[in-house]
Structure 1
């Protein structure tokens, strides 16, 4: 009687399960890393100030310095909360809500301080608000 060796009938083959696992991991890796490369496509063009006519004779000047401190007219507002700013505006402007307001803020002023001043003006009913800017400086012409 002849005993057969079972190994002789085994045909060599490639096991695809580990290969599929590796390919799936590579696909996930490439999908995740390509999303990190996406850059913002939002293009901002900031407004440029052009010289205009001087402001009216009587305006209410509100100045916000680089530290976020408020100056209404000639007075400094001691607190920086909105109620203190509103109180100072009422004292400076009285009952005239048609009075033009010139809001001047330092370029380094925290954005929240400017928004607080605008919010106080809006709550009091002021609608004629101008924001002071520096005029656009023309670029020097190239030398020929």
Structure 2
């Protein structure tokens, strides 16, 4: 008696549902993700009266936002540590300490943060240091005359 061997069917995993799920997850994450530009810091400058200075091409500008985050020449830094700020200033070319060093701080920035940036600039040898302010608005004048 001859027995006929049964042919085993190939066992395989159907990948179509898996690919569908992956594409649905991809679409979900693309739709739900918000894209923000991290390089811009929102700052509110303090006010001061004086003449405007012309902006120079060769300068180092450090922007300090209200939370104490730093940006050097428009490039936001990854953290709020002074060592990172020092490395960023040295990357820009701090070998020439005669270039103007401009500190732009938000009006609500902690005073200690601005002083720390000024101290760091002094340690690096910058002598031409300036702070940025904005002109006060006439409507915000606190001195009013009464008739």
TM-score range, shorter chain: 0.5 to 0.7
Query: Which aligned pairs between 1:50-65 and structure 2 lie closer than 5 A?
Result: 50-65=50-65
CA contact (8 A) 1:93 1:99 kept: no
Query: Which aligned pairs between 1:73-112 and structure 2 lie closer than 5 A?
Result: 73-112=73-112
- Return the TM-score normalized by structure 1: 0.59
How far, CA to CA, are the matches of 1:77 and 1:54 in structure 2? 26
Structure 2 segments unaligned to the other structure (5+ residues): 1-46
User: In the TM superposition, what is the alpha-carbon distance from 1:142 to its structure 2 partner?
Assistant: 6.6
Structure (1 or 2) with the larger CA radius of gyration: 1
User: In the TM superposition, what is the alpha-carbon distance from 1:104 to its structure 2 partner?
Assistant: 0.3
User: In the TM superposition, what is the alpha-carbon distance from 1:85 to its structure 2 partner?
Assistant: 1.2
Give the SS at the match of 2:61: strand
User: In the TM superposition, what is the alpha-carbon distance from 1:143 to its structure 2 partner?
Assistant: 9.9
How far, CA to CA, are the matches of 2:124 and 2:59 in structure 1? 16
List structure 1 segments (4+ residues) > 4 angstroms apart after TM superposition: 139-144
Alpha carbon RMSD of aligned pairs, Å? 2.4
Match of 2:126 in 1: 126
Structure 1 segments unaligned to the other structure (5+ residues): 1-46
Give the SS at the match of 2:108: coil
